[in-house]
Structure 1
Amino acid sequence: MEALGKTFMTISEALGVQWAPRDIPVERRFQTLAATGWICLVLFGEAIAICLFLKLVYSDYWWLAIIYSIWFLNDIDVCNKGGRKYEWVRNWSWWRYYRDYFPIKLVKTTDLDCSCNYLFACFPHGVVSSGAFGAFATNALDFYKMFPGMTCNMITLSGHFLVPFFRDFILAMGGCASSRESLLYLLDKKRHRGKCVALIVGGAAEALDSHPGEYKVILKRRRGFVRIAMQSGAPLVPVFSFGEPDVFRPFNNPENSLLRRFQEAVRKFTGISPMFPIGRGVFQYNYGVLPIRAPITTVVGRPMEVVKNLEPTDEEIDAVHAEFTERLIELFESEKKKHLKNSENVQLVIT
């Protein structure tokens, strides 16, 4: 047995595997379990949900599948009508352990007026938006206490709301569709006050440029969120998650490489970027899909007032877009020294 152990350690050393110690505190084990459950939900949640639905269809309880399908079809547009959030789901202990795994922090630079609605324009996307998820899709970072009188909805791809069971979970977390109809509904002052709508502006395309230590965001060709802000009159709020690119180590995928072309083709067809996240494992620190324990700080910047304009011209949109770009750069430069190591060597690249 001793010889077997030595052989195992020799192989581990040859592969560069660093194993987790056995005397890890229980608290940290729960944190790792929470992160494991979360990444499995992100990567495999939809496939599992579809399998469960098919299992129900071909079981003795097939009639439940029919009832659910009828309800599903009648409820299909709820993701464009403000969603269906359940605070008890957002308050699960799971999310507090998930928060402490990295850890994730939420920082505000100014108070928000609860009589207004705000469009949070969040950067960067990272591989799976770990920081924005913790800050805006759960109550683990005490968003309601930090911004009294405000509520928050996180925006995600409309296709997620077509997956049985999975859709109900992300609706419960406060998720809503990334459609014009959905955003204008949430930001309408006649329907809501004190609503913060968190949108990852760069989307899946930006995920392809997520690499440790690099901050490359897609903004120049993103105009839709500015148009929505102008049509609703909602102030634009720059939000930046420092440390987001550091929790995974994706494969190198420079422009025009074979891997990048494959990723772009899949993204255009499905709306999802195949990132093959490389992080750590449950029991070792070198290989796996678990995120790396790296701190993420999500900073909410100062609101930028936007004049309501139901039919803005391209020139008017460009003017607001240019001002917002300046606000985002200002936020990054003023906050990076507080939240990044070697910040003098870190630059924000806007494409």
Structure 2
Amino acid sequence: MVSESETNGHGEPKPVRISTHTLKPGEDPPPGVRIYADGIKPDQKQNVFVTLLAGVTMSVYVGFMNYFMLLVVLSFFSRTTLYIVLALLGTLLLPAKPVLWPAFNRLWIFKTWRHYFHYSFLIEEPLDPKKRYIFVEFPHGAFPIGPIVAGTLMQTLFPHMMIYSVAASVVFYIPFWRHFITWIGSVPATSANFKRLLRKGSVAVVVGGIAEMYMGHPHRERVKLKGRRGFAKIALEEQVDAIVCVYYFGQSQVLSFGPAWLAGVSRRLRTSFGYLTGWMGLPVPKPLPMYMVNGRPIPVPKVARDSPDFDKEVDKLLDACIKELGEMYDRHRGEYGWSNRPLSIE
């Protein structure tokens, strides 16, 4: 629900100011303003060459497993292809460092990706760079391309903060993906890694994970949050300052994943089985607008781990996140043209 103070007096959300201002190095984004990345204009059409380049390079990343498995099959018939496969596998022996490489995130190719999605973002409230936050991101979708593109923007959005992320451990056993995801700031999603990163800064996590890959729906958004206590428990244990909900409008529509009957097997094995489809049935994301909204910080109470009320506080914090995510979605879905597309939190 949207409160009366957030409406224009007729029950409709207040219009959000839109800006095409390009943030300067070290400049914090103004709160409550929808900013188009890299100075893109709301009605700007992308150059055909740039669109093709972005589509092809994203396809290489998104569809890498498809292409790699094809190379493995072909390696039985071609020595050259076998050498390519061995070279790719050999990269797994190289150290996955540095975690969060600023120069990599500033590569021009990522700017073409942001243009491809007409990427825009809004920060509801400014964040204190001296505090630590856990960013809980939704939805994962068929493939988390929205959060990945956002990862290349973090030093622009929050120039005075160090924001890392955690990702499914299996990703770090896949050539190419292993180094790519590390360089944008990710490490395997274990409790120990999560806590270690929180001692260095803030951490983002896509809470729904593999379960959300199979939750696509034509008429509503579906995310998995109920029962996901892990991040709330860590927030209390590490005494972080606040949790921030993040929603990527459009993320659920750019790619599809199936078949749905593989969902149970994938969850049990903590990996995904199936295939990705996007533009024209290919593993190429559809060129749809993407809008990232960072919600209001949810304060984390100070509770000792040995307190008899600790588990109750974990549940209360999770409930607060569920409530804020739903309200934040309602505050902004009209800006994306989704007034009639509700959010189902499961």
Q: TM-score, normalised by structure 1?
A: 0.73
Query: Hey, what does 1:182 align to over in structure 2?
Result: 193
Does the Cα contact within 8 Å between 2:210 and 2:266 map onto a contact in 1? no
Query: Which of 85, 88, 100 is the equivalent residue of 2:115?
Result: 100
Task: State the Cα deviation string for residues 209-242 of structure 1 (Å, max 9, x = none).
Answer: 1234421111112111111111112211011111
Does the Cα contact within 8 Å between 1:211 and 1:250 map onto a contact in 2? no
Task: State the Cα deviation string for residues 3-28 of structure 1 (Å, max 9, x = none).
Answer: xxxxxxxxxxxxxxxxxxxxxx9823
Q: Structure 1 segments of 4 or more deviating over 4 A?
A: 49-52
Query: Hey, what does 2:234 align to over in structure 1?
Result: 228
Identity %: 25
Query: Hey, what does 2:341 align to over in structure 1?
Result: 346
Distance 2:277 2:51 in 1: 19
Query: Which of 163, 171, 182 is the equivalent residue of 1:171?
Result: 182
Look up the equivalent residue of 1:346 and give its one-letter code.
R
Cα distance change on mapping 1:332 and 1:26 into 2, 3 Å: closer
Query: Hey, what does 1:328 align to over in structure 2?
Result: 325
Flag the structure with larger Rg. 1
Counterparts of 1:52-67 in structure 2, within 5 Å, are none
Query: Hey, what does 1:317 align to over in structure 2?
Result: 314
Task: State the Cα deviation string for residues 32-84 of structure 1 (Å, max 9, x = none).
Answer: 322322232122259749979x989x86xx99x98x77x65xx58x7xxxx62
Query: Hey, what does 1:129 align to over in structure 2?
Result: 144
Does the Cα contact within 8 Å between 1:49 and 1:163 map onto a contact in 2? no
Does the Cα contact within 8 Å between 1:215 and 1:346 map onto a contact in 2? yes
Does the Cα contact within 8 Å between 1:49 and 1:164 map onto a contact in 2? no
Look up the equivalent residue of 1:227 and give its one-letter code.
K
Look up the equivalent residue of 1:290 and give its one-letter code.
V
Query: Hey, what does 1:3 align to over in structure 2?
Result: none
Query: In the alignment, is residue 248 of structure 1 matched against residue 255 of structure 2?
Result: yes
Does the Cα contact within 8 Å between 2:118 and 2:288 map onto a contact in 1? yes
Query: Which of 199, 208, 218 is the equivalent residue of 2:214?
Result: 208
Cα distance change on mapping 1:206 and 1:314 into 2, 3 Å: same
Look up the equivalent residue of 2:253 and give its one-letter code.
D
Task: State the Cα deviation string for residues 246-272 of structure 1 (Å, max 9, x = none).
Answer: 213556xxxxxxx43333213422422
Does the Cα contact within 8 Å between 1:211 and 1:246 map onto a contact in 2? no
Distance 2:246 2:220 in 1: 17
Local SS of the residue matching 2:277: coil
Does the Cα contact within 8 Å between 2:211 and 2:263 map onto a contact in 1? no
Question: What is the count of residue pairs matched by the alignment?
Answer: 292
Look up the equivalent residue of 2:142 and give its one-letter code.
V
Q: TM-score, normalised by structure 2?
A: 0.74
Structure 1 unaligned regions, length at least 5: 1-24, 252-258, 282-286
Local SS of the residue matching 1:327: helix
Distance 1:213 1:151 in 2: 37
Does the Cα contact within 8 Å between 1:241 and 1:296 map onto a contact in 2? yes
Look up the equivalent residue of 2:227 and give its one-letter code.
R
- CA RMSD, aligned part only? 3.2
Does the Cα contact within 8 Å between 1:279 and 1:289 map onto a contact in 2? yes
Q: 1:163: Cα distance to partner? A: 3.4
Cα distance change on mapping 1:306 and 1:273 into 2, 3 Å: farther
